[in-house]
Amino acid sequence: MDDVTVVCWGLGAMGSGMARALLERKGVRIVGAVASRPEKAGRDLGEVLGVGRELGVRVTSNPEEALEAGADVVLHATSSFAKEIYHQLDAAMAAGSDVITVAEEMAYLWQSDPKLAAEIDQLARKYGVSVLGTGINPGFVLDTLIIALTGICTGVRRVKARRVNDLSPFGPTVMRTQGVGTTVEEFRDGLAKGTIVGHIGFVQSCGMIADALGWKLDEIRQTREPIVSATRRKTPYVDVKPGMVAGCNHTAHAFMNGEEVITLEHPQQVLPGLEGVETGDYIWIEGTPPVNLAIKPEIPGGTGTIAIAVNMIPHVLNAEPGLVTMKDLRVPACFMGDIAKLARGEGGRREHV
Amino acid sequence: MDDVTVVCWGLGAMGSGMARALLERKGVRIVGAVASRPEKAGRDLGEVLGVGRELGVRVTSNPEEALEAGADVVLHATSSFAKEIYHQLDAAMAAGSDVITVAEEMAYLWQSDPKLAAEIDQLARKYGVSVLGTGINPGFVLDTLIIALTGICTGVRRVKARRVNDLSPFGPTVMRTQGVGTTVEEFRDGLAKGTIVGHIGFVQSCGMIADALGWKLDEIRQTREPIVSATRRKTPYVDVKPGMVAGCNHTAHAFMNGEEVITLEHPQQVLPGLEGVETGDYIWIEGTPPVNLAIKPEIPGGTGTIAIAVNMIPHVLNAEPGLVTMKDLRVPACFMGDIAKLARGEGGRREHV
């Protein structure tokens, strides 16, 4: 059986991670790679990934060159924002490829930009391909996992979840967009100017949960507060002195009929452990029955995003054409057998595995 | 839009619970009810359920009478064993109904009886209907939830999970089949004679996990050990004195290439809290990244099973014909909107919700 063919579009931390993860899987083959940074273009993908061997795939900075292979799927990791990547998605779809993107806004564009979502959906149907936005958050911890857990409830009144992570592995860009190392005034100022943004994905997560539960939301409100450090917190990228900002406590509140039905909290900071804050993913469902879940430590954002994008390949290949979402597709799984067999079967029943 | 029509087959604790749960949902209507106990037959379903109003559905002990309505779906809760219910499933499928059963063996019959699974699959395809086995365990906690969590791993080496529950709400049948209140000798004897069985579903859960991960298992070994009580544990149904058996510690070990890759533990006993044992559902995935999850207290088996059977209705109505499994279907969700609209749409995209 022919391998599932993949083009990797974007070779930053996420895109390179996906490419490396693909090399470990069976029945799947990278046939093209697009880098936005010109210094990567022209080199062999194996060299760019640092895997110690040639892969016979020349990295290009020209997407058309990679897409013309007409790969089964494009793994896309270039930007967070739907409007910025719309033309990239269009090009990939036009080449006849299904698309999996980790652009946060694509995780549930039906909520954040329903008009653009409908356009992409129409295009995907026209080309007969599926487009999925996924990732660890949005895409799994604060939406898909919550939705799956409500599956054991006869009724749900309210959902609350909290993802507490440690930003210390991250570099200058994340420090800047989360306001780490600023004064409280600089933090407020950055929020006002839009240079400090906090988490991208709450609108998508709230929308996905609400639609999965059949809730019509009135409003989604977000708050971003500085996490003021009581201790010195030093990483290779930042030095936060007491009284300075160690991160951004970003919260979303979604309302239905005037009542708060979804609360998602995502305090992101460097070294929370120094102040006794344990990292973890926490979900509370006020339902029948109630659910009280903890994952400690939290599912790491980088590896998790890389994994779920790769793991959704067979599910997306089996999906109906259109802009699909995590709640529409089969339960994710780390399938380590022959992806080509699974993807070209009828959906993973035993005899096809 | 026409309501989704449902026949409830089996009106014991699970079946009645499902019927009651359906009454709370929109876009779904019970059109038939089958009770095995003759004293329930001929009465209005509302009276049998004790909901304080007539529902205009006469309970029957004759399945054909209920099935002739040709309901969209049959919710089936009569027995744990596939061979015992095979003819019931056949009758429901022949009536053109999709089937959701909570028979434990049906949760993944592809593992425990692949020949019978293939027969049911063939029949379902012939009739153009889908058949799903589900429940809380097997069906969710020790299989589907684990599978979903592996979705965030780039690789998985081993899975371990433990479900610790309290049997004290349960009556004489459960006490007997779990050996609660026996001496250690009586327990060993009951195991040998097959009157004490422990948990039903480990083979199914191991099989579903393995197939979802692309693992070929060599063998599944099970052990059942008495939980000998150090204290007196008294419930309305049983009085366990120190030295007697408070429950059954049932464990499954699944091997691939001679190595244990799946370990599922399910110690079931009355009042574990008296000896400091906290109930809960615990999952550990040895993977990249590792996952360490706890749900405390455990998801209750009764309500959970009732809920997931009802919640899978739209997913099953949208499934391809055949014997399907939880890992093949969309992520479960407690959808509280109009089920008819969701089920008759194209799979839960925003515009159909």
3-state secondary structure of A47: helix
pLDDT band at B26 (very low <50, low <70, confident <90, very high): very high
Instruction: Enumerate helices (H) and strands (E) in chain A, giving the number of each.
Output: 13, 15
B58 token code pair: 């006469």
Q: A130-133 and A155-166 as β-strands: parallel, antiparallel, unpaired?
A: unpaired
Q: Flag whether pLDDT at B346 surpasses 80.
A: no
3-state secondary structure of A254: strand
Contacts of B273 (CB under 8 A, 6+ apart): B166, B279
Mean pLDDT by 10 residues, chain A (353 residues): 94 96 97 94 97 97 96 96 97 98 97 96 97 98 98 98 94 92 97 96 98 96 98 95 98 98 98 96 98 97 96 96 96 96 64 41
Residue showing tokens 């708050």 = A223
CB proximity under 8 Å: A 100-139 to B: 110-111, 114, 117-118, 121, 136
Q: Report the DSSP beta bridge partners of residue A284.
A: A160, A292
CB proximity under 8 Å: B 187-226 to A: 207, 211-215
Closest-CA residue of A relative to B341 is: A214
* Amino acid, single-letter form, for residue A86: Y
Specify the higher pLDDT residue, B2 or B351. B2
B157/A contact by beta carbon, under 8 A: no
Cα A59 off chain centre by: 24
Cα separation values, B78 from A130, A177, A224, B165, B253, Å:
40, 57, 52, 23, 29
Is the distance from CB of B49 to CB of B30 less than 8 angstroms?
Answer: no
With residue B154 as reference, give the H or E element that holds it: none
**B321 CA: distance to closest CA in chain A (Å):** 11
B334 token code pair: 């407690």
A142 vs B contacts (CB less than 8 Å): none
Cα A291 off chain centre by: 24
Question: Which value does ipTM take for this structure?
Answer: 0.96
Q: How many CA atoms lie within 13 A of B148 on its CB side?
A: 30
Q: What is the pTM of this model?
A: 0.97
pLDDT band at B242 (very low <50, low <70, confident <90, very high): very high
Measured between alpha carbons, how far is B154 from B139 in angstroms, rounded to an integer? 24
A242: cis peptide before it, omega within 30°? no
**Using the 8-state DSSP alphabet, how is residue A58 labeled?**
B
CB atoms near residue B1 (< 10 Å)? 10
Contacts of B191 (CB under 8 A, 6+ apart): B179, B224
**Using the 8-state DSSP alphabet, how is residue B36 labeled?**
S
A284 token code pair: 């509370």
Measured between alpha carbons, how far is A120 from A126 in angstroms, rounded to an integer? 10
Query: Which of B75, B132, B350, B353 has the highest number of chain A CBs within 10 A, making it the mutation to test binding with A?
Result: B350
Does the distance separating the beta carbons of A334 and B327 come in below 8 Å?
no
Across the A/B interface, how many CB contacts are shorter than 8 Å? 232
Using alpha carbons, select from A199, A189, A196, A247 the residue that is nearest to residue A220.
Answer: A199
Could you report the per-residue pLDDT of A278-319, keeping only the tens digit for each? 999 999 999 999 999 999 999 999 999 999 999 999 999 999
Give the pLDDT confidence score for residue A353 in this predicted structure: 37
Lowest mean pLDDT among A5-9, B1-5, B333-337: B1-5
- Please measure the distance between the N-terminal and C-terminal CA atoms of chain B and give it in whole angstroms: 13
B324/A contact by beta carbon, under 8 A: yes
HEC states along A202-247?
A: HHHHHHHHHHHHCCCCCEEEEEEEEEECCCCEECCCCEECCCCEEE
Could you report the per-residue pLDDT of B281-330, keeping only the tens digit for each? 999 999 999 999 999 999 999 999 999 999 999 999 999 999 999 999 99
B292 vs A contacts (CB less than 8 Å): 295-297
- Averaged pLDDT of chain A: 95
Does the distance separating the beta carbons of B333 and A327 come in below 8 Å?
yes
User: What's the whole-number mean pLDDT along residues B132-154?
Assistant: 98
Could you report the per-residue pLDDT of B99-128, keeping only the tens digit for each? 999 999 999 999 999 999 999 999 999 999
Give the pLDDT confidence score for residue B352 in this predicted structure: 39
B71 token code pair: 């309901």
User: What's the whole-number mean pLDDT along residues B19-38?
Assistant: 96
Does the distance separating the beta carbons of B304 and A289 come in below 8 Å?
yes
**B13 CA: distance to closest CA in chain A (Å):** 15
Measured between alpha carbons, how far is B220 from B210 in angstroms, rounded to an integer? 11
B288 vs A contacts (CB less than 8 Å): 303, 307
User: What's the whole-number mean pLDDT along residues B69-80?
Assistant: 95
Query: Which of B334, B336, B352 has the highest number of chain A CBs within 10 A, making it the mutation to test binding with A?
Result: B334
Does the distance separating the beta carbons of B330 and A330 come in below 8 Å?
yes
Q: How many CA atoms lie within 13 A of A269 on its CB side?
A: 32
In this complex, the residue of B24, B152, B214 whose CB is nearest that of residue A136 is B152
In this complex, the residue of B155, B336, B351 whose CB is nearest that of residue A214 is B336
A329 vs B contacts (CB less than 8 Å): 330-331
Measured between alpha carbons, how far is A252 from A264 in angstroms, rounded to an integer? 5
